[in-house]
Amino acid sequence: MSNDYVKMWKDLGLDIDAHDALLGVLGNAYTDIYLAQKNRPEGMDYFNFVMSEVHGLRIKELIDEKAQGRKIIGSYCVFVPEEIALAANATLIGLCSGADFAMEEVEKYLPRNTCALIKSAMGFKLGKVCPYLEASDMVVGENTCDGKKKAYESLGELMENLYVMDLPQMKSTQGRALLRAEYERFKDAVEALTGVKIISESLKSAIQTVNAKRSALHRLAKLRKADPAPISGLDALLANQVSFYDNPARFTESVNKICDELETRIAEKKGALPEKTPRIIVSGCPMAVPNWKFPWIVETSGGVIVGEESCVGERGCRNLTDDSGESVEQMMEAITDRYYKVDCAIFTPNQDRLNHITEMVEEYQADGVIHYGLQFCQPYLMESIPVEKALEEKDIPTLRIETDYGMEDVGQLKTRVEAFIEQLK
């Protein structure tokens, strides 16, 4: 770890001791979970490097961008359009919320029975350990659930640059109109932040950049349909996680490179896990870095994850944005159409999501579905029962899991997952 990094972290206002402790935990978890895997594609070396420099080189790049007058926008949700940020000469990055931190402090602001993801976002701010958050010129929150909506009131007291986006809760004409109006308001806010007016050329170019990134992730997803699976669910999840904060063009190139390698592996019948390993779709709550506990349990219990129905997975990157529009107005409509298809559990009713899970089972030739819910995450826990019923009607084996970021329940979860996988065999 270079002294330059320590100075950079200090300049950002991080608590160096707490940050060192976080990096220590992150490094150990990565070694034990990721580097312990056998038969990994060589292309994963890039992602190993990204993770080793996740708070180092990438942060330095962002600081350098800021020095050249570019703005950094931090976001907590896939509903925040990266296309709009890029078109106004800003960089959009996902913010830390995948581990427990400063929980005692957090519970002075939020009730104990708040979901782990919300508490984590608050903990990273209170603990002063997230350089992405501290480097952001604007932080975008959104009211995807009541917990987040109220938590942003408290988080707003801790930062001057919080912008909250209002999202529709029903798929209706009025719901789409609200989303369109909110994206217009966001566009105005981003232009005011950067001093750059979004024009049709810059918006088209931004749409194409983001489409290329999502296309690379689609390509990766499709290759996971092969048996044996050419890449582990853990490694595929990591690529999805890294997509939120890596440079888009470099990320796209790295994913396409790994896809070339996977195509060769498929032709040679080389798998990350043996042929006929029970194939699992994981559905439900998003998993941000370093939330790797659950996929690690599945893949050390005799299964392989072949798809994620999650914001950090298919839900977040499934659809591309139509780039055929010529005016800013036409492209803003296309952006709204694209994000309006995201079938988050915030929506009621949400039949699209149930349909999509069953489609994924068929497409990826999965043997079963595990619904992953974070404790106290009302929307996904409420939907886990209809999901289970819909899948059972189609004779698709399903397991509902409810957990948090702690390691106390690993033994119990492992027993349940092993029994489920045994049943699939």
**What six digits make up the tokens of 197?**
């007016």
Assess whether the previous peptide bond of 290 is cis (omega < 30° from 0). yes
User: For residues 285 and 373, is the Cβ–Cβ distance under 8 A?
Assistant: yes
Give how far the C-alpha of residue 32 lies from the chain's centroid of Cα atoms, to the nearest Å: 21
Digit-coded pLDDT (tens) for 189-213: 999 999 999 999 999 999 999 999 9
Alpha-carbon distance of 425 to 422, in angstroms, equals 5
Neighbour count for residue 42 (Cβ, 10 Å):
10
Instruction: Let me know: does 118 contact 147? Beta carbons within 8 Å.
Output: yes
- pTM value surpassing 0.85: yes
Q: What is the pLDDT of residue 417?
A: 98
Rounded mean pLDDT of the chain? 97
* pLDDT tens digits along 365-391: 999 999 999 999 999 999 999 999 999
What one-character-per-residue DSSP string does 5-43 give?
HHHHHHHHT--HHHHHHHHHHHHHHHIIIIIT-SS--TT
Whether pLDDT at 142 is above 60: yes
Closest listed residue to residue 73, CA positions, set 64, 82, 343: 82
* Helices of type H across 136-290: 146-158, 173-194, 200-223, 233-242, 248-267
What is the amino acid identity at position 62? L
Residue 1: pLDDT band with limits 50, 70, 90: low
For tokens 């996988």, the residue is 421
pLDDT category at 3 given cuts 50, 70, 90 is confident
